[in-house]
Structure 1
Amino acid sequence: MPMRHRVLLAIAVTVIAGAGAFPAPAPAQAPPLTRIRVVHVPVLIFAPLYVAIERGYFRQQGLEVELIGTPGGVSSFVVLASGRSEVVIGGLGAALFNAVARGLDFKVVGPVHMERPPVSTPLVASKKAYDSGEIRKVSDLRGKKVSVNVLGSATEFWLQAALHKGGLTMEDVEVIGVNFPDVPAALANGAIAAGLLGEPLATLAEDRGQIVRLSDDFIDGVQVTAVYYSGEFIRRDPNLAVGFMVAFLKAARDLYGNGYKRTDVAKIVEKYTGVPATVVRRASPPFHEPNGKMNFNDFKRLQDFFKKRGSLTYDKPLPPGAYIDTSFVRQALQILGPFKPPR
């Protein structure tokens, strides 16, 4: 082999051998997650939140979610407006309208669920009272104590609908507040004659022989829960606020149709509510709007209801634009595209 070729070959071997001496470039690191605090009540109707956490949808959007449990009502908005949380998943109650009237810094940005028969928050009575004949129908509740989970909450609107269907009004009963997990015990000890009980707790109590459903078809298509953002979160992290909505709607779409019947979904709900997955799969599921559409007329109906109940602290009705911001849903849909039901 000519000397020139031998030299070139030696150089090539040296280069190839030395290639391994240089470290491979380090893989690009994902940016750190931003922690946000989300106020919630651990019940079935808020399952999109739990599904989005467990399936990593929030992490895909750069978010790490810290959950803050609360019974709902006024406390949720105080936590939100005081800067102690960025997001609330909660009901559309008197507390919402009063907080807006006070000028608290937050917006309603999307829907969570709507009730369709059979509703996921039925009116129940104790099985003992039912079997004895004391309470067999809604009209038997006249003059008795009936519970909602929080006074002034959306469940009061549901109770009115259930009573109306049974020929009663809110004035025909004494309405008191009892948190959902405490309803079966309150029924058993006679503290209440009936109460609203959210799924999957209703099915669990039914399995245990504690309750019967007096009414579960009193609401059809009314939106009574929503996603709320603090004003600070909106101004500080608008892109993350859009990301939260993207993750939430992805999870809502996962629950469309028979989503709640899936074993993996039921196990997620079990993790966050403590109710066995086998019970979750048999519970009456809520409906989650897969495109995030909000019904402004439902807000008006609720505001009028709480005005008549004397629960509002102001006189002039609030226009929806004073407290609703649909821009985050619109931007999320630009990313996700419109939902197409599976065939």
Structure 2
Amino acid sequence: MHAGDLEARLADLRDAMYQASYARNDPARQRRFLTSLFESTGDSDASFISVVEARGYEDEPRFAARPAEPGGWWTALRKRRYLIGAVAAGVVLVVAACSLLIHSVKSDSVAAMTGFPAKLRVGLLDVVDTAPFYRAVDQGYFRDEKLDVEIVKVRGGPDAVRELADGRIDIAFTSYPGAFTAQAQHIADLRIAAAAYTARNSHLMLMGPADGSFTHGYQAPGKRIAVTATGSISDIGTSLALREANVDPKSISWVSLSMDDMIGALSRGDVDGAVMAEPYVTRAERLGAIPVLDVTLGRTAFLPLSGWFVTADQVRAYPEAVQAFQRALARGTADVQRRDERDSVLVKYLGVDPAYVDDVRIATYPLEVDVSELRKVVDLMRNNGFLAAPVDVGRMLIHWPNG
């Protein structure tokens, strides 16, 4: 629901509250008030109104609410319909809630989580890191948790974080460097909802064109190299790998492209190289692209690569929805530890050809967040000039009261 719609609801409820103040001793006004109030919710149940009139305003609530339809906070309000003895007080509470909602929520954001089924907009790009998420979608694990997930494709992790901060998505998939940079720059106060992927050799590769014009790291100076976004694992990992090859990363011209566009750009000569993750690496190789540099080799190998993020405000406001997302994703993560389940997801959701699904390089899907390993990522970024301010990783964890 948009802010304009909420303002209209608020005006209606203020009018209803005014009517309630003088309707108590006037049966005709009571009926007009009840009808108006229920119609404003899209529900003019005449039989219910008649029962309420018969019981009077002073009765205690005695009716079970009808099952709520999907639709967020307004449906949740109807689910808790009281007898009219509590209407005036209830309207006051709703008005206060509407005011807070209007001032704290941008259009159609996580505010929908106040009533289940909750709709979560999940920002991601289609790399193998997201296989647990797609497994959870495929098996209905989110549906089991009364979550309706909407997939929003993003170009890269930093873009996902910005959209999360702006309220355009509710969950962001991103590499850890992109998230830590945003945290250090106060773009958003992020919390790690779940781990996604841990790097292994050959997962993230700098690829050159099929014509063989770029095949070794020492040829990188002056090259146009495509990455999903600057400040992401793509350029940071490549810069670290190039430094180990005695190449100054400042000599590189970084070009921001989505991974979906990289193979075409590489084949046309729009860029000289492209940093890709799986399954794009295998796809590019089968079209003739040449591996130039293993971005996850050396210091960046075996480190946490990516995760799922929410904001601190969302954790405070909608803990049930965040926990439900975590539970569903955890089931998907457990499933993709098995190769057959994982391969089915790669083929169905990530566009991997069944003929070469065995060639896709798979690293590790962690079952939990490893704080000590994440601190190594922060130290690596700080020591190499990619992070201007320290980041307290421990503070970014979600600590639920129930453990």
Q: So what's the TM-score if we normalise by structure 2?
A: 0.64
C-alpha distance in structure 2 between counterparts of 1:109 and 1:86, whole Å: 11
Q: Do 2:195 and 2:367's aligned partners in 1 also have CA atoms closer than 8 Å?
A: no
- Residue deviations 1:169-210, cap 9 Å, x none? 31243222222122222222222222211211221122222x
CA distance in structure 2 between the partners assigned to 1:33 and 1:305 by the alignment: 45
Is the Cα–Cα contact under 8 Å of residues 184 and 390 in structure 2 kept in the other structure? no
Decide whether aligned partners of structure 1 residues 47 and 163 sit closer, same or farther in structure 2, where only a CA change above 3 A counts.
Answer: same
Hey, what does 1:156 align to over in structure 2?
Answer: 235
Matched position secondary structure for 1:123: strand
Against the structure 1 CA distance between its residues 298 and 278, is the aligned structure 2 distance closer, same or farther, given a 3 Å change threshold? Answer: farther
1:124 aligned partner, one-letter code = M
Determine if the alignment matches structure 1 residue 128 to structure 2 residue 205.
no
Superposed counterparts of 1:203-242, under 5 Å: 203-209=282-288, 211-216=289-294, 218=297, 219-242=300-323
Pair 278,301 (structure 1): closer, same or farther in 2 beyond 3 Å? farther
Which structure has more helix as a fraction of its residues? 2
| Offset of residue 135 of structure 1 | 2.8
Letter in 1 for 2:118: T
Higher relative contact order (CA 8 A, sep 6+): 1
Q: Equivalences for 1:1-343 in 2 at 5 Å? A: 33-94=117-178, 96-99=180-183, 101-102=185-186, 104-117=188-201, 119-129=202-212, 134-209=213-288, 211-216=289-294, 218=297, 219-256=300-337, 259=338, 261-262=339-340, 264-294=341-371, 295-301=373-379, 303-304=381-382, 308-309=385-386, 316-322=389-395, 324-327=396-399
* Aligned position for 2:16: none
Report which stretch shifted further, 61-70 or 98-107.
98-107
**Counterparts in 2 of 1:127 and 1:42: CA distance versus 1, 3 Å:** same
Please give the secondary structure, in 1, of the residue aligned with 2:172.
strand
Query: For the Cα contact (< 8 Å) 1:110–1:326, is it kept in 2?
Result: no
Gaps of 5+ in 1: 1-27, 335-343
What is the one-letter code of the residue matched to 1:325? L
Contact (CA 8 Å) 1:73, 1:152: kept in 2 or not? no
Task: Describe the superposition over 1:40-94 as per-residue Cα deviations: whole angstroms up to 9, x where unpaired.
Answer: 1112121111111112222222222111111124432232123332211112235
Q: Secondary structure at the match of 1:195?
A: strand
Secondary structure of residue in 2 paired with 1:327: coil
Q: 1:7 is matched with which residue?
A: none
- Deviation of residue 288 (structure 1)? 1.1
Secondary structure in 2 matching 1:65: strand
In the other structure, the counterpart of 2:79 is none
The aligned amino acid for 1:221 is F
State the identity as a percent. 20
Q: For residue 332 of structure 2, what is the amino acid of its counterpart?
A: A
CA RMSD, aligned part only?
Answer: 2.9
Name the SS for the 1:192 alignment partner. coil
Structure 1's 71 and 103: CA in aligned 2 closer, same or farther, altered over 3 A?
Answer: closer
SS at match of 2:247: coil
Tell me if the contact between 2:209 and 2:267 (Cα under 8 Å) persists in the aligned partners.
Answer: yes
Gaps of 5+ in 2: 1-66, 71-115
Assess if the C-alpha contact under 8 Å between 1:106 and 1:231 holds in 2.
yes
TM-score (norm 1): 0.74
The whole-number CA distance in structure 2 between the counterparts of 1:156 and 1:243 is 33
